Amino acid sequence: MKKFVSFCFLFAILSAFACGGNCGGCKNNGTGGTEDEPAAEYGSRREFEENSDFSVTYAVSDNGIDVPATAVLTKTAGGVYIASTSGGGGSLSETLYLKNGEGYDHYLYLGGKWVKQNAEQYSLADVDKAVGFSIFAYVNNRADNRGDMENAGTEQVIGRNCDKYSGSFSYMGTNWTESYLIDQLTGVCLKFSIEYADGTCTEYACTEFKTSGAVLPVP
């Protein structure tokens, strides 16, 4: 059985794992959930991120089979919450950057409680860097590079209208296709899939997307 490197993750640190099998098409996850429409259409994902309290959750499937891996990013004016479970039934990892004066306090959820990590505060740039390593940023930054992709129509994810972009690529003898479903109102990528020539595939699908009224956990 052929193995391939899949884009699996820890939410804060992108990692890889090997798997194999034949997909026969990626599973259509993310067709249910709650939909909170923003008051107005945003010009871009970055504009939406800067001007909205939001929360987005992704689930993962490999070769059409759900993987016990999820990721959550919640952002408000008060800070940022990042949570993830790794593939293979890994434990939940939770990180919180809570605004305090001019900086942010950093917490990890350990032993059933929030534990502050440093006496020195994080800057906004530090928090942005942490979010930049998240699967949310990874998927959306990939989706922003659509120069080599074609518009493949529209589809819905969790009841939201999305523009679909798809493209085929090749590198050192490996051929694959990438597809992105991008929310029309916010510019956020709600589904990303990568499928190889042998039929193996991995998919990240949004299962819940709150575009307002997001709430951070309280230490």
The domain segmentation of the chain, as residue ranges, is 3-210
Structure tokens of 58? 């992704």
Contacts of residue 141, defined as CB under 8 A and 6 or more positions apart, other chains included, come to: none
Structure tokens of 78? 């008060």
Q: Helix, strand, coil % (nearest 5) of the chain? A: 10, 50, 40
Contacts of residue 128, defined as CB under 8 A and 6 or more positions apart, other chains included, come to: none
pLDDT at 131: 87
Q: Which CATH class for the 3-210 domain?
A: mainly beta
Task: Give the other-Cβ count within 10 Å of 148's Cβ.
Answer: 10
List, for residues 59-111, the tens digit of each pLDDT value.
888 887 777 678 899 999 999 999 988 655 567 889 999 999 999 999 999 99
Query: Rounded to two decimals, what is the model's pTM?
Result: 0.76
List, for residues 125-184, the tens digit of each pLDDT value.
999 888 888 888 888 888 888 777 899 899 999 999 999 999 998 999 899 999 999 999
116 strand-pairing partners: 107
Nearest to 211 by CA among 192, 183, 191, 178: 183
